[in-house]
Amino acid sequence: MGELQSGPSGTLPGRMALFEHLSGSAAEGEGGGDMLIPFAFEETLCRNVGAGLVPPSVHLWSHPGGLALGLRDSRLPCAGQAMQSLEARGIRTAVRHSGGAAVPLDAGVVNVSLILPKSRGTLDFHRDFRLLAALIAEAAGVSHPAAAAQIVAAEVAGSYCPGDYDLSIGGRKFCGIAQRRQSHAYFVHAFVVVSGPGRERGELVRRFYEEAVCGASGLDYPLVRPETIGGLGELGGPDSAAVFADGVRQAVAARGTELVKASELEAATGYRLGYGDPRVREAAKMLRERYAQ
Measured between alpha carbons, how far is 87 from 94 in angstroms, rounded to an integer? 10
46, 78, 161, 214: the catalytic one is 161
How is the beta sheet containing 65-69 ordered, strand by strand? 92-95, 65-69, 103-106
Amino acid residing at 195: S
Q: Can you give the three-state secondary structure of 251-285, one letter per residue?
A: HHHHCCCEEEEHHHHHHHHCCCCCCCCHHHHHHHH
Measured between alpha carbons, how far is 133 from 168 in angstroms, rounded to an integer? 11
Q: Can you give the three-state secondary structure of 124-187, one letter per residue?
A: CHHHHHHHHHHHHHHHHHHHCHHHHCCCEECCCCCCCCCCCCCEEECCEEEEEEEEEECCCEEE
Query: Which residues are bridge partners to 61 per DSSP?
Result: 21, 111
Amino acid residing at 37: I
78 is catalytic: no
Q: Which residues are catalytic?
A: 161
